[in-house]
């Protein structure tokens, strides 16, 4: 690739990253109104995630992983909020708003009882957060969920569900673990060349993969959106507010705990985003059809909120500010 072509290619990646607040709504519209064109991409989503994970992990070093483990405040506080506080909040508010529709309330709580979204790795990378902390938090969430998700549903609803732990871990290994390990080895063996050169070169491909993932995943909710009822519209608004609350709480927690900028970015995105696919599988397998909609409704708001809060974190946690100097990435 010639120098001018290379600059144009890297420029494309930078342009996508800077304009996600415009790109994401376009993806949502395409997924909702042209599901037939993009749903065939769904089988490729794990491969697209693997591309994203590899590129996003090229800035990880052994030292940064060690620092993340030895200073786990951001990891632990995020996990406590995601797996304990947020399910309680959604249960109380969901019951208050939709108590006459228990299946809807179940779907709302289920949405906030599943693991963190894998896509947070890409968002953290785009906005220069701490990829090591994001990766450790994501893995911890996945490992905890087979125990905490059934426990949460049992406590609130008396529901007994079985989570395909082996399948969940297999997906996580293929989509995140193996690409991240490969990226770490590549970066360490190249003495940082991979982070300096390979990562920018692969960024456009990773961001195109993210566009395809968002668009194809949105097709799953197309039928619901095209046949909205007043109740479903109310659920949409409620889920949108919960997603917004999650991001806001991530910022607040980071501020209260006085975390450095790079870890604050991680907390913002990971407090706001859940693995909707795993929630949808449980909803379909164990609950009434009405439970599925609140879970899938998050598709419309998580990535859109990610794009919006990307701009917000850039203002709230400016790079190289004296009080938020990043320690590692």
Whether 299 is in a domain gets the answer yes
The token pair at 167 is 């399948």
Q: Is 274 helix (H, G, I), strand (E, B) or coil?
A: strand
What is the number of structural domains in the chain?
1
CA distance 226 to 63: 49
Residue 179 located in a structural domain: yes
Q: Which two tokens stand for residue 131?
A: 């990829």
Cα distance between residue 141 and residue 106, in whole Å: 21
Tell me whether residue 16 is in a domain: no
Cβ contact 310:20 at 8 Å = yes
Supply the CATH number for residue 287's domain. Answer: 1.20.1530.20
DSSP state of 329: -
DSSP string, 21-43: HHHHHHHHHHHHH-HHHHGGGGG
Give domain status of residue 6, yes or no. Answer: no
Predicted confidence pLDDT, tens digits, the chain (329 residues):
668 888 899 899 899 988 888 999 999 999 999 999 999 999 999 999 899 999 999 988 889 999 999 999 999 999 999 999 999 999 999 999 999 999 999 999 999 999 999 899 999 999 999 999 999 999 999 999 999 999 999 999 988 788 787 887 888 888 888 999 999 999 999 988 998 889 999 999 999 999 999 999 889 889 888 888 999 999 999 999 999 999 999 999 999 999 999 999 999 999 999 998 888 888 888 888 889 899 988 888 999 999 999 989 989 998 765 444 444 43
**What is the rounded CA–CA span in Å between residue 179 and residue 58?**
9
**Does a structural domain hold residue 2?**
no
Which residues touch 281 (CB under 8 Å, ≥6 apart)?
A: 164
39, part of any domain: yes
Q: Which domain holds residue 236?
A: 23-314
Q: Left (φ > 0), alpha (ψ -120 to 50) or beta: where does 297 sit? A: alpha
């Amino acid at each position: 690739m010639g120098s001018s072509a290379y600059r144009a290619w890297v420029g494309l990646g930078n342009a996508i990253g800077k304009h996600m607040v415009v790109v994401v709504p376009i993806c949502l519209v395409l997924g909702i109104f042209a599901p037939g064109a993009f749903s065939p991409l769904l089988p490729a989503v794990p491969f697209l995630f693997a591309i994203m994970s590899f590129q996003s992990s090229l800035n990880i070093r052994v030292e940064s992983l060690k620092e993340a483990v030895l200073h786990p405040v951001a990891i632990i506080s995020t996990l406590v909020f995601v797996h304990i506080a947020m399910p309680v909040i959604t249960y109380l508010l969901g019951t208050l708003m939709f108590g006459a529709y228990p299946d809807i309330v179940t779907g709302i709580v289920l949405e906030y009882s599943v693991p963190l979204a894998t896509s947070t790795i890409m968002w953290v990378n785009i906005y220069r957060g701490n990829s090591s902390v994001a990766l450790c938090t994501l893995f911890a969430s996945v490992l905890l969920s087979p125990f905490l998700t059934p426990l949460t549903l049992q406590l609130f609803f008396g529901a007994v569900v079985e989570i395909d732990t082996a399948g969940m871990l297999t997906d996580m290994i293929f989509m995140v673990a193996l690409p991240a390990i490969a990226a770490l080895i590549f970066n360490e063996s190249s003495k940082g060349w991979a982070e300096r050169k390979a990562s920018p070169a692969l960024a456009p491909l990773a961001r195109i993969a993210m566009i395809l993932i968002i668009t194809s995943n949105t097709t799953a909710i197309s039928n619901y959106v095209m046949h909205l009822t007043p109740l479903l519209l109310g659920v949409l608004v409620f889920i949108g507010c919960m997603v917004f609350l999650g991001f806001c709480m991530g910022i607040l927690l980071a501020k209260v705990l006085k975390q450095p900028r790079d870890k604050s970015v991680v907390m913002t995105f990971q407090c706001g985003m859940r693995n909707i696919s795993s929630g949808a599988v449980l909803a379909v397998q164990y609950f009434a059809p009405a439970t599925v909609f609140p879970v899938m409704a998050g598709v419309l708001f998580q990535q859109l909120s990610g794009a919006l809060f990307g701009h917000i974190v850039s203002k709230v946690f400016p790079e190289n500010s004296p009080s938020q100097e990043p320690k590692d990435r």
